[in-house]
Structure 1
């Protein structure tokens, strides 16, 4: 389009920015931002909203806030983009402050605002605040809850261990619950080891989406984590008999403008010998620092994944090792994953960030994790 001399319109730039956001392509997003400025559309509210969304989803809240603060005019979508950005990075209190500023400036929230707020509360464990927002939707702002609000509330209550309240929330929906709500509850059952409820919820999940492998995997992992290996194997056997295929866990990292993809125990990358050597080095450093492998919770179940060897060769660990040997010391690493990060990988990444002195940003299926000096921005609540 540029080569043919066609000038981009706001809709063009919005499309490009949305594309960058969807694949966490920060550098391409920065170049698109340059196009926005050169094209003279940087004061356009729709383009500005997409810039905020792009920067937030690509991991740079600082740039998102800079765009937000420079916008000459803002609409409710502008505020939603900023609140949603804080939410996916686990900055719940900042999201709530942003909402208060929004109200002070006289901007009326909409249903999307509350999806962002409830998500922020869920990611940060702000249960009481989330309950107050949920109540104020109908009593103060006359906004009816939709399935996204219910799902956020189920996730909020479930993560906090209030499983029966979360289940009642699903059952109280004024319409047939969608699978996302049941899936959120099943994930909470896995986290808190509630087998009885997990079996009940898994039945609902599998009835709604019998071809979706996630229900089988979560229930199988719940059994494994609670010591019911026979039941776990039985669920896996049912999945295979029904020909339900699992999407493999994949992790991406970009180095020198080239994207590298890894799966668990990957053997195909041309630098795999060096990667395995780096993993062995890291394992020694982590062990000396007190790291103990956690085989209880595994989100992407594969053959023999409980074994320590496979835990050490999860896709995100391979990507991190690759990044370490192919970038300058001290350079931050940014990886993205198509599934939720497992507990062991989360713990090991904290250790890696400490022993190698690197900042590591991980964008998983649900949110961002920022690791530095042995700590994560989520404070181990996700």
Structure 2
């Protein structure tokens, strides 16, 4: 039975999720500007470095807030979460496929040549909604491994990711090559949620947190500069540092104006996540005529930041309209009569606490 009293909020988790989704949008903004001939070396280098940081943090937070889900009965988990995530993924991946069939663009992280809907959505997925596909796989896996001790599960998952994550798979689909590695962070969030919440109350002062963030950034930069990203275990090490630094920075940043602004985004990650790639593809079109002459110049330096700001301005207000259209943010069979906030994409609350009903599931 759902309590009518709101559960305790974790503002720093909302802040961290907001920062992670902004980094995801930035990643795609750089890809779009580069595809239009407006690439800047500084953005390219930054994007390669941030590639190692943003998704480990995102999936750790998702695991942190998925504890209730993996303890649900199997029918409930499959109906309300797994098949629901798969529905939303297929719906928005299909929308992106249609959009970029009409507005094609080149990317250097997907296989060349013509590819159909089945390839781009399921066989060799390369669209911006793939996070939901990963969740649809991770949640049942988290449920299946509930009885496995944490001291066994996390080292085993890390060893498997280190052995099989890098290598040939990356040539065919960056999604499949990342799934093993990112499951480690999702599982860590599931299993270490108690210690993580306790540690978050004892984060050191601003100087120490700044030093940790700087050291993590330098580690990621050195990893990409030295070409070590495909060395087994390196991405896990950098990702672990990203989780520690990202959570510590979010705790310190949460009470500030910037932290509250990021938390506002973090409470609306689902509608932003599923729409931002299509929105960016449309927003970048007016910049196309400047391609070539502006490459490497001031416009190419500003273009990704302008696109991110514009995409947020468009995507954030879409939350209400999308929620009012049936089945855009949830599957027909997964819509409850009293919709709850989904813990992996919505308001951050203490795992295990009771949650008040909310108008918009997945808000």
Pick 1 or 2: higher relative contact order, CA cutoff 8 A, min separation 6: 2
Higher strand fraction (1 or 2)? 1
User: Is the TM-score greater than 0.5?
Assistant: no
TM-score for both structures, normalised by structure 1: 0.26
Higher helix fraction (1 or 2)? 2
TM-score for both structures, normalised by structure 2: 0.27
